[in-house]
Every structure is written in structure tokens, then in C-alpha cells.
Structure 1
Amino acid sequence: MEGDQHMSTFINSQAKLGNHVTFGYNCIIEEDVEIGDNVSIGHNVIIYKGTKIGEGCQIHDNVVIGKKPMRAARSILKAQSDHPPTVIGNRCTIGTSAIVYVNAQLADEVFVADLATIREKVTIGSQTIIGRGVAIENECSVGAYCKIETNAYITAFSTIEDYVFVAPGVVTSNDNYIGRTEKRFSAFKGCTIRKGGRVGANATLLPGLIVEEDGVIGAGSVATKQVVSGKIVVGNPAKPLRDVEEDQLLINQPKKS
């Protein structure tokens, strides 16, 4: 570990720190935390028990990693006492005041912007960008090379595959009963956006909606039915407009190295 060991920073004796790890003021590093080489940690950071952080990561001020979920008395989700630890890959960036819950897994080079929230049982693939204020709820899967932009909301139980683009202000939903009747407890279903799917700003996706590969939902649309591969849908309710242009298809984009 490099730099001054501040009196206001607590590092549990059972934590394992790599070489050239730096800390700001008022950090708490709990037991069995593992931090790789060349990691920079800002001020007021809390890293909970068992969290694993790869090499070359940048953890900015006021970040919380490994937080356990809270459960309201009326929550439909059952409380769980034992959670696997959070795992952060190599060369990830976690922005100011972001929260990454316990049992989340971020692959290498994921970028999480300021104020984002990543809930428990979420996986995020390599080089994906999670924008400012984005909320990804529990039990979601996000692929590699995705962009989920400012203030998008990804509802629980959703699947987002590789190379997906989600514009600012997009809202997904998972409850067709809008919070009433017992039927809803067995009918929750998140949204699925398959490889190369794109969703325009302020669009709304209804529960269980599937966007097939290279499907596009236009800005401000309300998508109620499956979006066919390679089609653009717009409006409320969203209806087919035209095919995605050839040069816009994922197969015709530059390959990631």
C-alpha cells in the first residue's frame, strides 16, 4: 500500500491489499476484502466483507461496494442472510456516490458513472458503460460492450445481451398488474433486449417485452409487443416503421478488439 495511512481510514487486518493501492480519507475496508495492484480509492469509500476488486481499478469518492439489500415489510422479495461477495474485474471505474450491491459481478473494464446503482445478483460484461444515475435492479444480466445511458431504469429480472444501446431516460417494467392483486406475485417478468438492440430516449418497455437482435425502439415510444429483428418501431403503442438500414446493422459495425 502506498501513501499515508490516515487515522480516519480503517483497514481490517484480514483484508488483502496488492501493491500500490492508495486511499483517501475516511475509508472502511472490511474483513476478507481482496484488492489487486494499482488500485486508487477515493475519500469516504466503504468496501464490505469479502469483496474482490481486480487490478488497476479506480474507485471514486463516496462509493459503497458490497452493500446488502434492505427489505421492506411489504416487499415481495424474501430476505436473504447469506450472499456471495461482490466481484469487480480488472481496470474498472466506479464513479462518485455509486453503489454496487453484494453478489454483483462486474467483468473487466466496466465503467460505472456517478450516482449509479447496481443491485444484487447482477452481472455486467466487459467494457460496458453504465451511465450517471442508472439503476439496474436485482437479478439482471447485462452483456459486454453495452451503453446504458443517464437515468435509464432496468427493472428486475431483465436480460440485456451484448452491444445493446439504451438511451437516457428509458424505463423498463416487470409488473402487468401495477402493484395490485395476488396474481402479480407469480407473473413478474423483466424485459429482454437481444444482441445489438437499441432503445431511444425516454422510451418505455412493458413487462416481458422482447427486442430481437438489431431491433430498434424509437425515442418516446411505448413498446407493448415484441420488436422483430432488424425493425424500427415508433409511437404509442409502438408500431413498425421501417427496416434498420444496412449500414446500421451490428454485423456491419467495426469489431471490438
Structure 2
Amino acid sequence: MIHQTAIISSKAKIGRNVTIEPYCIIHDNVEIGDNCFIGSFSEIGLPTPLAQTNKLVIGGNSTIRSHSVLYIGSMIGECFSTGHYASVRENSEIGKNVQLGSRSDIQGDCSIGDYTKMHADVHIGKYSKIGSYVWLFPEVLLTNDPTPPSENLQGVTIEDFAVLAAKVLVLPGVTIYKDAVIAASSVVKSDVPEGKMFSGNPGKVVCNANILRCADNPKIKAYPWRSRFHRGYNEEDVQQWLNNIK
């Protein structure tokens, strides 16, 4: 269903069973897969001279909520979902089942793997590289300029299964390795090794993350989180996690 107030370019490709709500703009060379939902007042495929390709692809079964803006030049996998007022800049590659919370933004030239979840007010700085199954909680900020303002941008790298709690600030060029856990309000100035708990301002490694216990049941190990939390993930992945975690 396409609302009569929506403006859709004749050069856009709209899949089957797509809903486009009132006052949306769909620009040239946008491809929207089957069964997608585009909320009201969204702008999809906004042109920019920074885009390396004149195309925006949104995979099927995606949900773009109202007032969101997606620039031309990105490839977005199936089952992508945004909150309200979210934005995705040019030259970004986003996997499947990625969630982007309200008022969050992905800057240009970023890559994000599958099933990564970003909550409200998250900022993904230009040149960030984020793996799969990563959790970024509200107001996480990934920076990229060590001497602002400059042209010497250094993106942050976050590997698979890492968890960044609310209000974490990550400085340019830092790598957070697989299964690392960053405590709320920490400032991350240096690389965080695999499987470590990092906390503080200035932050430091405090212990192995796998010694932490769930607040509501100290008998259960909190990390790696995939040993205990499976909602929203496919059964094949969950079984593989359980087989591999000791």
C-alpha cells in the first residue's frame, strides 16, 4: 500500500507488499525489497556527492520508522529495522537483521555485520567497522577524529559478540575484540582484549568477563551472553553457540 501523498521516483524499484506511509520521498535508484514498511515523513535515497555508487538497496522485510533518512550509496540487508528519526549515510554496508534505534545514526563508509543491535541515540562514526551479534546500548558514541577538526579520521573496530553498555565513549582507532564487555559510562582510549571486562574513566581492564554473574541469579554466568540469551536469534545459530561454549 502506497499512500497518495508519497513521492516516488519512476527510477525506484519497489518490491511486492510494500507499505509506504504519508509524505515519504523515495528518490532515484532506490531498491526496496518485498514486504518492507516505510514510515511517514521518511526520505529514502537522499542524493549526496559523497556516495561511491548511485544506488541504495534495502533488503526485504525491513521496517523504516517515521522521519528516518537513508542516503543513496548503501547496501542494507534483509530484516533491517530502525526507530524514529534514524539516519544512515552513504557508502555503508549493513548485514541482515540489524536494528538501529530512534535518533541513532550511522555515518558514511561504515560496515556492520548481521544481527547487531543499536539502541536509541547511538552514534556510529565514519569508518567504523562493527561485527555481528554486537550490542550497543543507548548513547554509545564511536568517535573517529583524534585531533578535531581534521581529515585524519580513524574509525573504531568492534568485533563479534562485544557488548557496550549505555553511554560508552570510544576514542578513534580503538579496537574492541570479540566477547569484550564495556561497562556503562566508560571511556575507551585503548584496545580491549578478547573476553575482557573494561570499566572506568579513564577505563581499564578489570577482569575476565566470564567470571561475571547475572544480577538476578548468581549461579548463571553472564558472559559470554550467548550462552543464556537467545531471543530474536535463529535456532541454528543458537545451537552452534551452545555447542561451542564451554
- Bin the TM-score by the shorter chain: 0.7 to 0.9
Matched residue of 1:65: which SS? strand
Distance between the aligned counterparts of 1:251 and 1:114, measured in 2? 28
- The 1:25–1:216 alpha-carbon spacing in structure 2 relative to 1, beyond 3 Å, is same
Residue of structure 1 in register with 2:44 after alignment? 65
Residue of structure 1 in register with 2:66 after alignment? 96
Residue of structure 2 in register with 1:169 after alignment? 139
Pair 1:256-2:234 in alignment: yes
Identical aligned pairs, as a percentage?
Answer: 28
Contact 2:51–2:73 (CA under 8 A) maintained in structure 1: no
- The 1:98–1:250 alpha-carbon spacing in structure 2 relative to 1, beyond 3 Å, is same
User: Which amino acid letter does the alignment assign opposite residue 61 of structure 1?
Assistant: S
Distance between the aligned counterparts of 1:138 and 1:164, measured in 2? 19
Residue of structure 1 in register with 2:169 after alignment? 204
Q: How much has 1:250 moved relative to structure 2?
A: 5.2
Residue of structure 2 in register with 1:7 after alignment? none
Distance between the aligned counterparts of 1:247 and 1:83, measured in 2? 42
Distance between the aligned counterparts of 1:250 and 1:236, measured in 2? 24
Matched positions, count: 222
- The 1:81–1:100 alpha-carbon spacing in structure 2 relative to 1, beyond 3 Å, is closer
User: Which amino acid letter does the alignment assign opposite residue 137 of structure 2?
Assistant: A
Distance between the aligned counterparts of 1:250 and 1:234, measured in 2? 18
User: Which amino acid letter does the alignment assign opposite residue 95 of structure 2?
Assistant: G
Q: Which among 108, 117, 120 is matched to residue 138 of structure 1?
A: 108
Q: How much has 1:31 moved relative to structure 2?
A: 2.6
* Mapping 1:1-257, distance limit 5 Å: 22-69=1-48, 79-80=49-50, 83-179=53-149, 184-185=150-151, 187-245=152-210, 247-249=222-224, 252=227, 254=230, 256-257=234-235
User: Which amino acid letter does the alignment assign opposite residue 138 of structure 1?
Assistant: G
Q: How much has 1:230 moved relative to structure 2?
A: 0.4
Contact 2:69–2:88 (CA under 8 A) maintained in structure 1: yes
Residue of structure 1 in register with 2:215 after alignment? none
Distance between the aligned counterparts of 1:195 and 1:117, measured in 2? 23
User: Which amino acid letter does the alignment assign opposite residue 29 of structure 1?
Assistant: I
**5+ residue gaps, structure 2:** 211-220, 236-246
Q: TM-score, normalised by structure 1?
A: 0.82
Per-residue CA deviations over 1:43-101 (Å, capped at 9, x if unaligned) read: 001000010010000111011110023xxxxxxxxx44873210010100000000010
- The 1:80–1:178 alpha-carbon spacing in structure 2 relative to 1, beyond 3 Å, is closer
Runs of 4 or more off by more than 2 Å in structure 1?
A: 79-84, 250-257
| Superposition CA RMSD, Å | 1.5
**5+ residue gaps, structure 1:** 1-21, 70-78
Matched residue of 1:100: which SS? strand
